[in-house]
Amino acid sequence: MAETKGRGARSNATGRYEPETMHDVDDGWTADDAPATPLRTQLTPERARTIIARNQSPDIGFDRSINPYKGCEHGCIYCYARPSHAWMGLSPGLDFESRIFWKPDAARLLEQELSKPRYVCKRIHIGGNTDPYQPVERHLKSTREILQVMRRFNHPLSIITKSGLIARDLDLLGPMGREGLASAFVSITTLDRSLARAMEPRASTPAKRLEAISRLAEAGVPVGVGFAPVIPGLNDHELEAVLEAAKTAGASTAMYVTLRLPLEIKDLFREWLSEARPDRAARVMSLVRQTRGGRDYDPDWAQRMKGSGPVADLIAARFKAAVKRLGLDGPRHELDVTRFRVPPDLRPQMDLFDAA
């Protein structure tokens, strides 16, 4: 059997699009009968044709994004991106955090797309689906190569992560931040190391994320904190403490998202909750349903990010009061789109993309 220590999901159920499913059965053997082998991360290169993804979701504040990776080693049990692995015939469970896809041609593809004569510059968000600074980025450096291209083009970007690894790229993000070309959000769900380790097993510790906020702010990068997701009955009591710690570290703005449990995530989260926090599992799920009209999830565009009902309203009121008190309620930092330029050495190539 595979050892899943250090992973978020407790199972690896077949993806919803597969014609056949697999189920564990008890054959009488136990984990003590044979040595467990670690569940190792598998990296697969993806030959993509484009790198910039577009979306028209009315509740998302950007219309284009770049995701250097599919799947995420951080293993956050609540991750809304988990169901996307089912499109590739894989499980949103353990496969999602151990079968990682990356784009080795990302930088080249981005150069091509930004060099097209008809390209119109607008902010690109990096990491809208999976974390651009997950552990494999340390040696693959796909995110860094993308940032290097954005820097060459003076292209505005925003980025979100829950990894202290973002500080590695301050040589790029710092100057861009000071020039109005970059902003960042660091996601902090809890200040409790034990809960963070259980819920987000391979993400940076809360202290390292606060340090990342501090270093970004000191380098001149406008940085905010994301208290996301808010999980009623589990981490919601920390809302004010997380915002205060982030403000002290240097955050200038804040946002939050209430826990979302679409598709396979609801079962994965329930499974994790019953094992990791059995004493409060029933109460947490009851409160979650109270923010979703009595269901595990409400996909309505107007409700899915914040939820509805008395529990959701209380969270919203607490957040509003806290950000006002801390001065985290200012307008989001506007990025400069007027500085965008195709580098001189790439301009002769522009004719190649005229028909694209």
Where does residue 169 rank: exposed (0-12), middle (13-18), buried (19+ CB within 10 A)? Answer: buried
Q: What is the mean pLDDT of residues 276-305?
A: 93
pLDDT single digits (tens) 318-340 = 999 999 999 999 887 889 999 99
Q: Any idea which residue has 């014609």 for tokens?
A: 19
Under 8 Å between Cβ of 158 and 216: no
- Strand-pair category, 157-161 with 42-45: unpaired
- Strand-pair category, 157-161 with 182-187: parallel
Under 8 Å between Cβ of 299 and 262: yes
Q: Is the pLDDT of residue 22 over 70?
A: no
Q: Is the pLDDT of residue 35 over 70?
A: no
Q: What is the percentage of the chain residues whose pLDDT exceeds 90?
A: 77
Structure confidence at residue 93 (pLDDT): 94
Under 8 Å between Cβ of 299 and 320: no
Structure confidence at residue 18 (pLDDT): 54
Please state, in angstroms and as integers, the Cα–Cα distance from residue 229 to each residue in 38, 80, 85, 305, 315, following that order. Answer: 29, 10, 20, 9, 12
Q: Is the pLDDT of residue 348 over 90?
A: no
| b (16+ CB within 10 A) / e for 81-118 | bbbbbbebebbbbbbbbbbbbbbebbbebbbbbbbbee
Compute the distance between CA of residue 242 and CA of residue 249 in angstroms, rounded to an integer.
11
Cβ atoms < 10 Å from Cβ of 288: 27
Total-model pTM: 0.90
Structure confidence at residue 11 (pLDDT): 80
pLDDT single digits (tens) 240-264 = 999 999 999 999 999 999 999 999 9
Q: How many CA atoms lie within 13 A of 282 on its CB side?
A: 1
Q: What is the percentage of the chain residues whose pLDDT exceeds 70?
A: 90
Where does residue 120 rank: exposed (0-12), middle (13-18), buried (19+ CB within 10 A)? Answer: exposed
pLDDT single digits (tens) 145-170 = 999 999 999 999 999 999 999 999 99
Structure confidence at residue 69 (pLDDT): 96
Q: Give 203's DSSP letter.
A: S
Q: Is the pLDDT of residue 34 over 60?
A: no
